[in-house]
Structure 1
Amino acid sequence: MKPLQKTAKGTFYRVEMKAFLAKVHRDLPPTRMWGYQGMSPGPTFEVERNESVFVVWLNHLPRHHFLPVDTTVHGAGKQVPQVRAVVHLHGGVTPATSDGYPESWFSRNFEVTGPTFVNVVNDYPNIQPATTLWYHDHALGITRLNVYAGLAGFYLIRDPDEQALNLPCGPYEIPLLIQDRSFRTDGALYYPSEPTPPSPQYPHPSVVRMFFGTTNTVNGKVWPYLEVEPRKYRFRILNAANSRFYKISLDSNLAFTVIGTDQGLLRTPIEQTEVELGHAERVDIIVDFSKHAGEWMTLQNSSTRNEAPLDPQTTGQIMQFRVTLPLSGIDESQIPLKLTSFHDIPIQLTNRTRYLTLDEVKDRYGRPQMLLTNRTWSAPITEKPHLGDIEIWQYINTTMNAHPMHIHLVRVQVLYRRRFNVEKYKQTGKLLYEGPIIPPEPAERGYKDTVVAPPNMVTGVITRFIPFTGRYIWHCHILEHEDYEMMRPIEVLRELHRH
């Protein structure tokens, strides 16, 4: 992403959302999509830690959506413009007025704005360590459609500590944005207009419980391949699918090195042969192709968390690496024994523990609906931490699905997961544990912003609410769930005077 200008005050960008045609596969006609600067993924921001960045996002999208809009979903009624947009910098530590609050949407040319819309210029102070963030649409009631249409892109924060590590860089550092999509024979994006099986009492179009595409795309291309040299490469991988989980591995069983997660580098590198990502989770890995000249290998998905069956020949394949380029020079990059130092959030200073249920109910049409603490989006705010508070949030998942849970503004650490008796909890409201405490996976032992809460488990995370006050949100990042009420506001209040 190229800036308009750089001054003593900061770096300024002007970014346009617009429709375009993309050639996503050689055997498909061009596909109509939406993107930032007419691209999907949008151009990658590369910024420095503590660099003040100011962005004006411009909605130049068509006035009518090309995907099916269910007007019974909150915020998507017939009284608002059908096409609305607001950008959220996912994982960014930003003031509340620049966070992309779902009701801060704006229509084409700012003709109509949402009830919480405040400022045209968004302020991103980038006061956090080097990490892989991403930006995407967050408009209330149509996030699932806008992101699926193409409104997503990478946002990388750099800092001197990371740059001193001598990791693979330049052409050997490649972000990979993974989404699953379905296409019609004329190349058009397909998104279902009603659940399966349909019901005569459902409205039409009707929101679906989850969406699973029939192909995988990487950086906007269907099942692409990448030619690489026999050397180390750094891949920043993002799961940007609507609902699909990805358990990523290489079919050659080649191990890779995990160096980072959502909110930056781990303390030390970890060698793995697979890693699982829920929607919006990121993983930063290094793959060493140096001993594999001439080989082809496939990045594959083996997750069992998806309701749609996995076909090893289609949705089980993501992309291919072909080690066919000649080595352009000596590979001097390294994987250091220590990546970074950071302090754990002090659990002994916890101000509050919250017990937060993830629930499934039926709506007035008989459709499944996901909720948080059995409340809808518009119910009064119940999570009101004070600035500086340290809180433990226990996600009590009473549903049959895993939910990637995201809290805006803050970073979290995973404490544990533990199985519990769901039926007893529903009857009595008491947690009866049925298994040992399970520590976090090795690849999630850094700071994160999105954490998977598996079914029949309590998932504990700890966070500190800093450095801004105001209204933010927490939600499941399965886009069909967050669009249909599995999202709640938070209000971070001014600090209490503690004696």
Structure 2
Amino acid sequence: MSITLRKFVDRLPKMSTIKPKHKDDKGAYYEVRMTQFMQRLHRDMRPTMLWGYNGQFPGPLFDVKQGEPIQVKWMNDLPSRHILPVDLSLHGLAELPEVRTVTHLHGGVTQASSDGYPDAWFTRGFEKVGPDYEQEIYHYPNNQPAAALWYHDHAMGITRLNMYAGLAGMYIIRDEAEKTLYLPEGKYELPLIVQDRSFKPDGSLDYPRQPDDPEEGWPDPSVVPFFLGDTILVNGKVWPYAEVEPRKYRLRILNASNTRAYALYLDSEDYFYQIGTDGGLMQRTTKAKKIPMEPAERVDLIVDFTGLQGKTITLKNDLGPNADPEDRTNDIMQFRVNQPLAGKDNSNIPRKLIEIPSLKKNKVQTIRDLKLVGTTDELGRPLLLLNNKKWMDEVTEKPRLGDTEIWSFKNLTTFTHPIHIHLVRFQVLDHRPFDLDAFNETGILTFTGPATRPKSNELGWKDTIAVPSATITRVIAHFVPYAGEYVWHCHILEHEDYDMMRPFTIVDPES
């Protein structure tokens, strides 16, 4: 049984920025410990037991400059038993330590040894390490455009649990080009990590041990095919509010939920001015009253509160026409425009932002047809796969270093999957619908409409893309600058853990 909490009674927390321990010729050096702790997530709820980076949820904000490398030593100080139900039937987990962690910088352009490979895990004090573990200290070159990235746990088979327990944080890269645009900055820039959770009456995290109506023979605990919490948190507070001035604000929003997608809008019917996506700024600002977000996607928005002094505006989530009236996740947070203007608002909503070279001008070496499929395992549980392959199957995607490829994702399931490719930023080419029932019956692909251009929130550089059901979504990527072992996967965490994740190898032809 979960609990019902009053909305908009807690102030939006401001993320604390982590400071380096020291600097040397390899860049700034940070140490981050993963620990178990108690944190109050709502005024009327007991403190919740969580896991977090440096003892906080979400983890500390990394705020770094383009081209200035940093080093991070991620340290596991967690207990040996998990606080959530672990399904030991997956990936031979019964033979592994129950608590394992490895951190992935999502959207980061890093060498494979610092990417957070799922089998590069380690336990408390590095006592035990996974088969692909290489080093304690991770190196992040930050040699990429300004963008809001994020870091989170990526341990094989338990990512959904480690992240639900609290292991996630935001990582912002800044560059000189961005400074020339006079965007809202300082206290007028709000990084917002949006997540859903459910809670037991004692304030502890509520996560299902098994799917609804488990069949005889299913393990207990057993992985669930998806998770939707009944409560929304922003920056670690349940339905918070922010007090703002009547001026422009920049919102850096991350969907860090396990499964839940959002359709964001303002109940004032004001526009969002979108200036960026996963990989940084877009070429031009776009206006929209609704912004869809799948898990792991980021949007960079400007909201103009000018002239709205005394108003209360709610950031909402459109649940659709068939929503359950008891579903309270239609609200995200409130903005109370009740602060006096501290000074003249000199920030800008530029029409043109940056130039982005089109990858369509590159010579394409390979086109890959990649299927997203649903089946069942030997126990009859739902099992989602990429190209009908499991994680442990032989690597089949081997782009050459420096090649440009088109990856064509064909979604043969009945729901959307957010697909994430590690290392590379890509550009979305198009979406094209097809007759799914006919394909399942005959194997013949029959299109039901023309290919459509990317949506406004899919422009620019992306690292995670929504692939709707019965649709072929094509992306184009340049596989640089590193060779090595990486992964691509669905970012619905319950799918990623079982078994919608595949390794790929970038091959250096010179080696």
State the match for 1:223 in structure 2: 239
Cα distance, 1:153 vs structure 2: 0.3
- Find out whether 1:137 has 2:173 as its counterpart: no
State the match for 2:387 in structure 1: 373
- Find out whether 1:19 has 2:60 as its counterpart: no
Structure 2 SS opposite 1:43: coil
Cα distance, 1:323 vs structure 2: 0.5
CA contact (8 A) 1:276 1:303 kept: no
Which whole-Å deviations, capped at 9, do the CAs of 1:311-354 have from their partners, x for residues lacking one? 57611111111101111111111112211111011355111110
State the match for 2:260 in structure 1: 244
CA distance in 2, matches of 1:135, 1:348: 31
**Pairing 1:321-470 to 2, within 5 Å after superposition:** 321-347=335-361, 349-470=363-484
- Find out whether 1:191 has 2:207 as its counterpart: yes
Which whole-Å deviations, capped at 9, do the CAs of 1:346-372 have from their partners, x for residues lacking one? 355111110000000011111111000
Root-mean-square deviation (Å): 1.5
| Percentage of identical aligned residues | 51
Structure 2 SS opposite 1:51: coil
Cα distance, 1:197 vs structure 2: 2.0
Aligned length: 494
Question: TM-score, normalised to structure 1's length?
Answer: 0.97
Cα distance, 1:132 vs structure 2: 0.4
- Find out whether 1:172 has 2:193 as its counterpart: no
**Pairing 1:87-166 to 2, within 5 Å after superposition:** 87-166=103-182
Q: 1:473 aligns with which of 487, 494, 500?
A: 487
CA distance in 1, matches of 2:169, 2:362: 38
State the match for 2:57 in structure 1: 40
Distance 1:192 1:52, change over 3 A: same
CA contact (8 A) 2:230 2:327 kept: no
CA distance in 2, matches of 1:458, 1:447: 19
State the match for 1:205 in structure 2: 221
Cα distance, 1:78 vs structure 2: 1.8
Which whole-Å deviations, capped at 9, do the CAs of 1:62-105 have from their partners, x for residues lacking one? 11001000001125x22111000000000000000000000000
CA contact (8 A) 2:26 2:71 kept: no
CA distance in 1, matches of 2:30, 2:435: 51
CA contact (8 A) 2:362 2:404 kept: no
Q: 1:57 aligns with which of 33, 57, 74?
A: 74
Distance 1:311 1:389, change over 3 A: farther
State the match for 1:182 in structure 2: 198
- The amino acid that maps onto 2:112 is A
CA distance in 1, matches of 2:157, 2:380: 19
Structure 2 SS opposite 1:78: helix
CA distance in 2, matches of 1:63, 1:89: 24
Structure 2 SS opposite 1:315: coil
CA distance in 1, matches of 2:53, 2:487: 24
CA distance in 2, matches of 1:105, 1:189: 24
**Pairing 1:257-272 to 2, within 5 Å after superposition:** 257-272=273-288
Cα distance, 1:174 vs structure 2: 0.8
CA distance in 1, matches of 2:300, 2:118: 28
CA contact (8 A) 1:14 1:57 kept: yes
State the match for 1:4 in structure 2: 21
Question: TM-score, normalised to structure 2's length?
Answer: 0.95
